[in-house]
Amino acid sequence: MSREEDTAFLKTFSMVIGLLVGVTILLIIVATFVIGGGGNEERQELARQRAEQNLKPVGGVRLSGEPMPAVAKSEASGGEEASSGPRTGQAVVQNVCIACHQGGFQNAPAIGDKEGWKPRADKGLSTLASHVKNGFGNMPAQGGAASDEEIRRAIKWMLEEETGLEVPQG
């Protein structure tokens, strides 16, 4: 190649590179505009709301004096209760206890596991209710999440109706 040819090649080459760089910059500008452009705040707000909803706990602690949350009145209450008063055993279990007693979390006896529950059921309802209220072994106290009556109902529902055991009163 002669010197002139080299120069000509270099010129064309630089022009092509320059053009590509220009196109790249243009694409970056367009992309920034599309992503950062109109409606961005709205979208962020939507994303925030959705994240908030996803992070909401399934069950909550109700401070005395606070009105019952709407969810407690829904079908989860088994339809037996009026809009106030203690929840049904099923509703309490589904809101509170199921977190541990379905999957056997920290060796919690699972709903339906007759052998696991039998020796515990024999302790009697009063003993069990106080264990649930104040905590027992690996189970933290549940008194903040359910009233005494609700805890009794939850135990009966879990052990008698769902597992098929007898829980003596004692």
In the list 69, 85, 140, 168, the residue contacting ligand HEC (rule: CB under 6 A) is: 140
DSSP tag of 17: H
Tell the smallest beta-carbon distance from residue 90 to ligand HEC (Å).
11
Q: Which is nearer to ligand HEC, 22 or 103 (CB)?
A: 103
**DSSP H or E segment with residue 53:** helix 40-55
Task: Name the residue number minimizing CB distance to ligand HEC.
Answer: 137
Which range of residues in 5-13, 25-33, 49-57, 139-147 is near ligand HEC by CB under 6 A? 139-147
In the list 120, 149, 156, 165, the residue contacting ligand HEC (rule: CB under 6 A) is: 120
Nearest to 125 by CA among 76, 92, 95, 170: 170
N- to C-terminal Cα distance for the chain?
105
Q: Are 92 and 153 in contact (CB under 8 A)?
A: yes
Binding footprint of ligand HEC, residue count (CB under 6 A): 26
**Residue 111 within binding range of ligand HEC, rule CB under 6 A:** no
**Residue 110 within binding range of ligand HEC, rule CB under 6 A:** no
State how far the Cα of 91 lies from the Cα of 86, in Å rounded to an integer. 10
Angle, helix 125-134 to helix 148-155, in steps of 10 degrees: 120
**Residue 91 within binding range of ligand HEC, rule CB under 6 A:** no
**DSSP secondary structure string, 133-149?**
HH-BTTBPP-TTTS-HH
Beta bridge partners of 139: 136
**Residue 103 within binding range of ligand HEC, rule CB under 6 A:** no
Which residues sit at the interface with ligand HEC, rule CB under 6 A?
A: 92, 96-97, 99-101, 105-108, 120, 123, 128, 131-132, 136-140, 142, 146, 151, 154-155, 158
